[in-house]
């Protein structure tokens, strides 16, 4: 598995995909802050560090989606190009390939996230006035809260694109798991308290208004404000990661490579 991971790392460093994605995220970040800075005469309420940080603090699932996009770019072409067949043919088990892909995607996504976040914070701090209810501490404490959930989301994406023959099916199933099923649970929760409580553990509900969270220009109440809340985020992400890793092992262990 170590050799497989090393080879994947070599590939990532010698191809342009990761540089392009990270570069795009960084450019968008800088452009966003420059535009906000330039428009401060028109909308001074929004030209603040608070509003800038609230974009990320109010939408933690953005981190999960960004990780998924990176995973998609790294591994979507694997089956089409047939590279995974070569890995299997040189005696690397499916489980090790899957585990290697999970770890490499997570490492690559973490690097991209850290770089983008650094640029986000520096450009916000340099260009915008430090006012409003959302502080840098909210953003920094969001990272441990969302990290495992993002990992679960990324592993789920990897399972979906590896298991389903068509990429579009994989993406649809991923969307169903992460966004539609939580809504269905929430609607079902109107009739059953147990279902409602379960729905609140699912990430897209965990970070929503239904869980009593408000991040706007006047207040900032996040899911990870309290110790209990933070633990709930970490537990939700940890359980999710475990579930999707196990699903991946079960589904991909004996999967024929077409």
Round to whole Å and give the CA distance between 65 and 130.
28
In the complex, the smallest distance separating the C-beta of residue 100 from other proteins, rounded to whole angstroms, is 10
Region near other proteins per CB under 8 A, out of 22-30, 81-89, 115-123, 222-230: 81-89
User: Which one of 28, 38, 59, 82 is in contact with other proteins (CB under 8 A)?
Assistant: 82
Q: Measured from the CB atom, is 21 or 148 closer to other proteins?
A: 21
CA distance 22 to 110: 11
CA 40 to chain centroid: 30
The reply to whether 88 sits near other proteins by the rule CB under 8 A is: yes
Does residue 24 belong to the site contacting other proteins (CB under 8 A)?
A: no
Chain-centre distance for alpha carbon 35: 25
CA angle at residue 84 from 25 to 151, to 5 degrees? Answer: 40
Q: Is the dihedral of CA 53, 57, 63, 66 positive or negative?
A: negative
Residue 102 CB, shortest distance to other proteins, in Å, is 17
Q: Least distance to other proteins from the beta carbon of 253, Å? A: 9
**209: helix, strand or coil:** helix
Q: Which is nearer to other proteins, 183 or 255 (CB)?
A: 255
Q: Which of 24, 39, 59, 86 touches other proteins by CB under 8 A? A: 86
- Among residues 83 and 216, whose Cβ is nearest to other proteins? 83
What is the number of residues in the chain? 258
Pinpoint the alpha helices (H) of the chain: 2-14, 17-38, 49-57, 61-75, 77-81, 83-89, 94-127, 136-163, 167-175, 181-188, 193-199, 203-206, 227-252
167 touches other proteins (CB under 8 A) = no
Q: Is residue 238 part of the contact set for other proteins (CB under 8 A)?
A: no
In whole angstroms, the minimum distance from the beta carbon of 239 to other proteins comes to: 29
CB-CB contact of 247 with 164 (8 Å): no
Among 18, 58, 61, 87, binds other proteins (CB under 8 A): 87
**Region from 7-15, 43-51, 149-157, 242-250 binding other proteins, contact rule CB under 8 A:** 7-15
Q: Judge whether 125 and 49 are in contact, CB under 8 Å.
A: yes
CB nearer to other proteins: give 105 or 204.
105
Instruction: For residue 23, state whether it binds other proteins (rule: CB under 8 A).
Output: no
Residue 77 is a binding residue for other proteins (CB under 8 A): yes
Contact between 131 and other proteins by CB under 8 A: the answer reads no
Give the residue among 123, 118, 128 at the shortest CA–CA distance from 46. 128
**CB-based contact 138:224 (threshold 8 Å):** no
Which residues would be at the binding site for other proteins (CB under 8 A)? 3-4, 6-7, 10-11, 14-17, 77, 81-83, 85-93, 254, 256-257
């Amino acid at each position: 598995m170590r050799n497989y991971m090393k080879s994947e790392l070599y590939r990532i460093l010698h191809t342009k995909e990761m540089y392009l994605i990270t570069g795009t995220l960084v450019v968008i970040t800088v452009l966003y802050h420059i535009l906000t800075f330039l428009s401060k005469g028109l909308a001074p309420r929004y030209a603040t560090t608070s509003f800038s940080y609230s974009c990320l603090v109010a939408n933690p699932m953005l981190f999960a989606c960004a990780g998924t996009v990176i995973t998609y770019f790294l591994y979507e072409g694997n089956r089409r190009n047939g590279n995974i067949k070569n890995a299997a043919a040189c005696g690397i088990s499916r489980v090790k390939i899957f585990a290697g892909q999970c770890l490499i995607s997570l490492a690559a996504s973490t690097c991209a996230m850290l770089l983008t976040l650094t640029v986000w914070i520096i450009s916000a701090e340099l260009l915008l006035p430090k006012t409003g209810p959302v502080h840098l501490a909210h953003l920094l404490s969001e990272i441990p809260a969302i990290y495992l959930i993002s990992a679960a989301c990324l592993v789920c994406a990897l399972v979906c694109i590896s298991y389903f023959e068509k990429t579009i099916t994989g993406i649809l199933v991923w969307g169903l798991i992460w966004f539609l099923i939580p809504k269905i649970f929430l609607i079902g929760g109107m009739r059953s308290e147990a279902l409602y409580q379960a729905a609140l553990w699912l990430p897209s509900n965990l970070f929503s208004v239904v869980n009593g969270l408000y991040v706007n220009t006047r207040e900032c109440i996040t899911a990870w404000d309290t110790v209990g809340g933070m633990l709930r985020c970490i537990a939700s992400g940890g359980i999710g990661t475990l579930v999707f890793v196990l699903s991946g092992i079960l589904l991909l262990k004996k999967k024929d490579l077409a």
